[in-house]
Each structure stands twice: as C-alpha cells, then as structure tokens.
Structure 1
C-alpha cells in the first residue's frame, strides 16, 4: 500500500509545494507568512495584495453568515 505518497491537492505550486491554509493561523502569523512569500517572490501567493487577509476574512464572515442563515453546517 502507498501510505501518503500519492496525494491529491486542491492547490499546488511547484515553487512552494502544496496549499497551506493561512486562515488556520493567527492573523499576525498568517500575515508574516505571506510577507515572507512576497519577500522571496515565490509562487502565486507572493503576488497577493497587501489587504488580502482583510478581504479574505470579510468573505469568510459572509460565507459563514449565509451558511448559518440557510441552515447549512460545515463538513
């Protein structure tokens, strides 16, 4: 059996590897991680705007609000 060798990723960037969810990190750590990527000019994430996390959190709040409103639960 192939334990963990063949994985499917939602997003994969050859220069940085598989997707890691910055939203799972505390805000300051997530911002520092993104700044590190920007400084290294590495991968697609390095091109994101300075207000990326603010916009992302706004959309996450809208998403959660609508899911609650329509009685949906998370996976």
Structure 2
C-alpha cells in the first residue's frame, strides 16, 4: 500500500526487470522514521538501547557485483 508505483511504466511489455537491482521507493520521506519529532514521555522503552557509536571509513575496495552474481541465480524464471 505504501510503495510508490508511479516510478514504473506498467504499459511497456518489452522491459525486462532484474529485481536484484530494482529499487522501489515508498511514499515516506527518506529520513523516516528519524524525521519525526520525539515524544520523550514514550521514548525510552525496555526493548531499546541508547549508546554512542563511532562510524569510520576503511579504504578497502571490493567488487560486490562479482561476489553477488556467484550466489544469486541470474535470469531466474519467476513464472
């Protein structure tokens, strides 16, 4: 219900989609749910943890597509 299907042209019959590389965006903002205001009275719950994290970048290159194709069937007949 929440997927934005307007990005797909459903009238074309000659278009072959590779679902591994197809992105369907929903109608929510890109920051959802982090774009909402926080109700602090209901913010802390038993199933959450509040910690500081450090994000860093490793200068390492890997060919993800080559490894991906080895494990996923290509041109798999979905019918």
TM-score by length of 1: 0.22
Q: Calculate the TM-score normalised by the size of structure 2.
A: 0.21
**Which entry has the higher C-alpha Rg, 1 or 2?**
2
Q: Which has the higher strand share?
A: 1
